[in-house]
Structure 1
Amino acid sequence: MKNLIPSYVRVPVIFFTIFGLVEYFVDSGDKPAFIEYPIIMLFLALVLFVLIAIEGIVGSIENVLFQSLDASEKERYIANAPKAPQFTKLKALYNKLKGDEKPIEEEHEIILDHNYDGIRELDNNLPPWWLYSWYASMVFAVIYLFNFHITGTSGTQFDELDSEYAQAKIDIEEYKKTAKNLIDANSVELLTEAADLQNGKKIFGENCIACHMTDGGGGIGPNLTDKHWILGGDIKSVFHTISEGGRSGKGMISWKKEGLKPLEMAQVASYVLSLQGTTPANPKEAEGDLWQPEGAEAPEAIQGDEVLEGEETDVLETENTEVLEIEDSVSMNN
């Protein structure tokens, strides 16, 4: 077996087998074991050294024993020794691809008349491997031209880039749906699950009641239960206010910088909006503008002229009534 497999094959196979077993059984996380644990690198180096040393020692012993034999024993040993594979078919294929070569002593038969400063040129046949590769490249060029530039059956590299970029955007959006801590003011949505609102209430109680009171009625901060909002009353606006902070110098800090995660801020924002319409114990006066949900129609304002016209009509009707009453009274007296 030793003679069938040469040492330059046997040593790497044994070494990488041991290396693979070490990597399989040693838990090193994302890093290779020999990088995570330098002692393993030392162990592998020692294994490689031992394997090479064993090969050298065994080879030396065999050589010493062989030299101790007499001539007839050496011949008998060589005759009985297993023969290494000759790979005759591979060698024949190699010679065929390499092509015919003239021996040096016959090169005078194929020397051309060209002479460049004493450099002579041989008229050798092209090697078959080179010739077949050239033919294959021409066939490939025709197929490539027809496929990419004439019919357009296959997309170009730019088409592939655009397609992969579009798919990557879709994959990112799908990932964001499951990775809740990647949401921002543009992608946040109102949470209605009881668990989310309960956690939002807990966070509100830990961080917000000092300014907005437990029931959201407002104290230092504005009332969160009415329909008036300073920086917007939809989920995106409330999330943005919690995340980035309110107006400068007004006390509303950026809770993103205080360590709240995007999901936690979305839960707080959803809980705050759930306070709409509730009745706090001591509600603070409304601040900001009356918030109209997107798409809602604002009530039409009454114009001043219309009010005046209505008032004038009422006055005229009153005067006419008084005149009629006076006329009736005069008629009765007569």
Structure 2
Amino acid sequence: MKKYFPVYVRVPLLFGLFYGAIEFFVDSGDKPAFIEYPSLGILLMLFLFVIIALEIVGNAATQIVDRLMSPEEREEKERLENLPVTEAAWYKKLMTRLTKSKPMEAEQELELNHEYDGIKELDNDLPPWWVYLFYGTIIFGVVYLGKYHLFGGDNQDAEFKKEMASAQLQIEEYKKTAPDLLTAEQVTLLTEPADLAAGKTIFDNNCVACHRADGGGGIGPNLTDEYWILGGDIKSVFNTIMEGGRDGKGMVSWKQQIKPSDIQKVASYILSLQGTNPADAKAAEGDKYEAVEADAPQTSAEEAPAAETAPEESTK
């Protein structure tokens, strides 16, 4: 690295990489990380001091070694450093620089006195790619320590919980406008003719077998009088259709066959049958229901608030 990058390039480069890593890993909003967190500025200055100190010590050590060399050793060192890179493809030159490998003719200069079974050991320096990777792990470790252990950065568990909370908020917002996610708590009475006509069609296709076409009741209870087994407001009727009637003897749940927005329409249509007094109506069952202000009509099914799939039960 020293051969290709002078000290005035190496020091700013390493400092810039370290600063960039801090800005990437530390969430400081619109402000630079070392301003938002003053201790990071101290850490940056410490890192700069360390790399400058390493450069000073490294240069001093190199000078001392050069002074201790004999003229022949110094001449040989210069010869090895100035050996030309093999005239080959560019990637071979790059590999030579990254591995700092010596040509075959220079290996005798690297041989140690260790030999076993004819195999000799070479005193090669660590390859530059390994050294750079090692420096990178040190920088990463310092940034990681600062973010997660000094400045309370979110770990994977905390990030997961935040994302789940954000997703839940989005789901709740979606439920407010999704017509087929109605619940009994959010349903309102529809009075538009188009909605009631759609409800009548659903009623004719699914409910007349038990309640008769006029709602007078057969197997199921009379839907036209004031008496209800499970409540006579829109929310109760909607819930009865969704979840079904009484265990063992009430109506089955229709939520698998009819979507909530359509159940709202049929429930509204059923309530529109109040007081029609069909001929041969079934005797009243349940308790008399008196309407309250909570049964406020809604103009259209498309404007009805949304919610998740809710219970439905027999209309009585």
Q: For the residues of structure 1 that align with 2:151 and 2:183, how far apart are their CA atoms?
A: 46
Q: For the residues of structure 2 that align with 1:193 and 1:113, how far apart are their CA atoms?
A: 101
Report Cα offsets for 1:7-26 as digits up to 9, x if no partner.
Answer: xxxxxxxxxxxxxxxxxxxx
Residue matched to 1:286? 284
1:295–1:281 CA distance, 2 compared to 1 (3 A): closer
1:144–1:214 CA distance, 2 compared to 1 (3 A): same
Report Cα offsets for 1:195-220 as digits up to 9, x if no partner.
Answer: 33321122112332343344434343
Secondary structure of 1:112's aligned partner: strand
Structure 1 length-normalised TM: 0.50
Q: For the residues of structure 1 that align with 2:89 and 2:123, how far apart are their CA atoms?
A: 29
Residue matched to 1:260? 258
Residue matched to 2:129? 129
Residue matched to 1:159? 158
Q: For the residues of structure 2 that align with 1:144 and 1:294, how far apart are their CA atoms?
A: 62
Q: Does structure 1 conserve the Cα–Cα contact (< 8 Å) formed by 2:222 and 2:283?
A: yes
Report Cα offsets for 1:5-49 as digits up to 9, x if no partner.
Answer: xxxxxxxxxxxxxxxxxxxxxxxxxxxxxxxxxxxxxxxxxxxxx
Residue matched to 1:211? 210
Alignment: residue pair count: 206
Structure (1 or 2) with the larger CA radius of gyration: 1
Q: For the residues of structure 2 that align with 1:131 and 1:285, how far apart are their CA atoms?
A: 93
Residue matched to 2:139? 139
Q: For the residues of structure 2 that align with 1:159 and 1:220, how far apart are their CA atoms?
A: 56
Q: Does structure 2 conserve the Cα–Cα contact (< 8 Å) formed by 1:243 and 1:254?
A: yes
Give the superposition deviation at 1:148: 1.8
Residue matched to 1:190? 188
Q: Does structure 2 conserve the Cα–Cα contact (< 8 Å) formed by 1:185 and 1:237?
A: no
Q: Which runs of 4+ in 1 moved over 6 A?
A: 292-296
Q: Which has the higher helix share?
A: 1
Report Cα offsets for 1:232-284 as digits up to 9, x if no partner.
Answer: 33444433432343235546344345x333332232123223444x3423454
Give the superposition deviation at 1:185: 4.8
Q: For the residues of structure 2 that align with 1:226 and 1:172, how far apart are their CA atoms?
A: 40
Residue matched to 1:103? 103
1:264–1:112 CA distance, 2 compared to 1 (3 A): same
Alignment of 1:62-77 (within 5 A): none
Residue matched to 1:239? 238
1:116–1:201 CA distance, 2 compared to 1 (3 A): farther
1:204–1:108 CA distance, 2 compared to 1 (3 A): same
Residue identity in the other structure for 2:242: S
Q: Does structure 1 conserve the Cα–Cα contact (< 8 Å) formed by 2:112 and 2:123?
A: yes
Give the superposition deviation at 1:150: 0.9
Residue matched to 1:272? 270
194-203 or 233-242, which moves further after superposition? 233-242
Q: Does structure 2 conserve the Cα–Cα contact (< 8 Å) formed by 1:212 and 1:221?
A: yes
Structure 2 length-normalised TM: 0.53
Give the superposition deviation at 1:151: 0.9
Unaligned runs of 5+ in 1: 1-85, 297-334
Report Cα offsets for 1:80-109 as digits up to 9, x if no partner.
Answer: xxxxxx99666544432232x223343333
Q: Does structure 1 conserve the Cα–Cα contact (< 8 Å) formed by 2:190 and 2:265?
A: no
Give the superposition deviation at 1:135: 1.0
Q: Does structure 1 conserve the Cα–Cα contact (< 8 Å) formed by 2:215 and 2:223?
A: yes
Q: For the residues of structure 2 that align with 1:177 and 1:125, how far apart are their CA atoms?
A: 67
1:116–1:172 CA distance, 2 compared to 1 (3 A): farther
Report Cα offsets for 1:92-143 as digits up to 9, x if no partner.
Answer: 44432232x2233433332334567776432211121221121122112111
Q: For the residues of structure 2 that align with 1:250 and 1:267, how far apart are their CA atoms?
A: 25
Identity %: 53
Q: For the residues of structure 2 that align with 1:186 and 1:117, how far apart are their CA atoms?
A: 87
Q: Does structure 2 conserve the Cα–Cα contact (< 8 Å) formed by 1:98 and 1:127?
A: yes
1:90–1:114 CA distance, 2 compared to 1 (3 A): closer
Q: For the residues of structure 2 that align with 1:97 and 1:169, how far apart are their CA atoms?
A: 50
Residue identity in the other structure for 1:272: I
1:291–1:143 CA distance, 2 compared to 1 (3 A): farther
Residue matched to 2:201? 202
Secondary structure of 1:211's aligned partner: helix
Q: Does structure 2 conserve the Cα–Cα contact (< 8 Å) formed by 1:211 and 1:220?
A: yes
